[in-house]
Amino acid sequence: MASLRDIRKHISSVKSIKQITYAMKMVAAARIKRAQNAILASRPFAREMDRLIEDLYGELAEGDFSGSRARALFEERKPGGPLCLVLVTADKGLCGSFNTNLLKAAAGWLKENRGRKIYAVVVGRKGRDFLHRLKGLDLEFSFELLGIFPKTGYVHAQLLADAVLKLYAEKPVESVTLIYNEFKSMMAQRIVTGTLLPLKRHILGEGPAGKKRGADFAFEPRKTDLLDALLPRHVAAQLYRTLLESQAAELAARMNAMESASKNATELIEGLTLKMNKTRQAMITTELNEIVSGSEALGG
């Protein structure tokens, strides 16, 4: 049976852990509102950028693409070439299944594309460490972005977009796949596995390319010049929204995890306190029995 000293030490350590988990919960709760507001502001902009690029692409004729940098970002490439994975995880743990689900999705994607050369663009230490541990894969790290959460900004998205666009321009990459956690609510996040490049697959999906909306546009400067200027900004805007989604989802997951940990600590403290009281009562009862037995022995 554990001594009273051991039980008191155990209670003290659990109380210390509870203080830490409660503080982490309150910090996450204080930051989540700002993160939610940032998402609500970025989502409409990202959707409108998608619509704008789709409309502009629909206005282009085949000959308009001659000599344009936009063609390389839009058109499908020869199948069977290398692939690029952009994995967005957290830098730290203690956020429930947030990182675990992401790494499972990344592992499943890597398994599906086994035998292909993979270029990895990683955001977050958890994803970096996970991919570094993998062996037997033709995996090459191209860019790492660490320590940006929970204060991510557009400059980080710009750095990420520059790295992805440079890789896509210099390597014969067939496509760029993006895996991240999308913020749905305070209690739920959704794993998203989507195509970032080529843009025809990302924006137009499986529908017919060049679908027109019947609008009458006048362009100044030329259509291709406008598209060349917009596409890097479009990629950066999509990645900025991705980083904000992941940041809010991580904060929500951490707040829920720390709340559960604090409740578990409270229940554990109550159980240990009850155990301590029972142990102390048993010790007192034993001492009383010894005193009574000694008195009877002396009296006899």
* pLDDT, the chain, mean: 85
Among candidate residues 294, 264, 283, 259, the one with its CA nearest the CA of residue 21? 259
Give the pLDDT of residue 121: 95
Domain chopping of the chain, boundaries: 22-257
Tokens describing residue 273: 């306190």
For domain 22-257, the CATH architecture is: 3-Layer(aba) Sandwich (3.40)
Q: Which residues are catalytic?
A: 95
Question: Got the DSSP string for 140-196?
Answer: EEEEEE-S-TTS--HHHHHHHHHHHHHHHHHS---EEEEEEEEE-SSS-EEEEEEEE
Q: Is the pLDDT of residue 194 over 60?
A: yes
Q: Taking 80 as the threshold, does the pLDDT of residue 182 lie above it?
A: yes
> Residue 7 carries which side chain, given as an amino acid letter?
I
The percent of residues in the chain predicted with pLDDT above 90, rounded, is 47
**The pair of three-digit structure tokens given for residue 188, joined into one six-digit string:** 């739920």
Task: Write the pLDDT tens digit of every residue in 203-251.
Answer: 665 444 444 444 566 767 777 777 788 888 889 999 999 999 999 999 9
Average pLDDT over residues 73-95: 89
- pLDDT tens-place string over residues 108-151: 999 999 889 999 999 999 999 999 988 767 888 889 999 999 88
pLDDT of 300 > 70? The answer is: no
**What pLDDT, in 10s, does the model give residues 258-299?**
999 999 999 999 999 998 888 888 888 888 887 888 777 776
Token output for 63: 């000959």
pLDDT (0 to 100) of residue 80: 85
Task: Write out pLDDT tens, residues 12-48.
Answer: 999 999 999 999 999 998 899 889 888 888 888 888 8
Q: Is the pLDDT of residue 161 over 90?
A: yes
DSSP-assigned letter for residue 93? -
pTM of the model: 0.83
End-to-end CA distance of the chain: 33
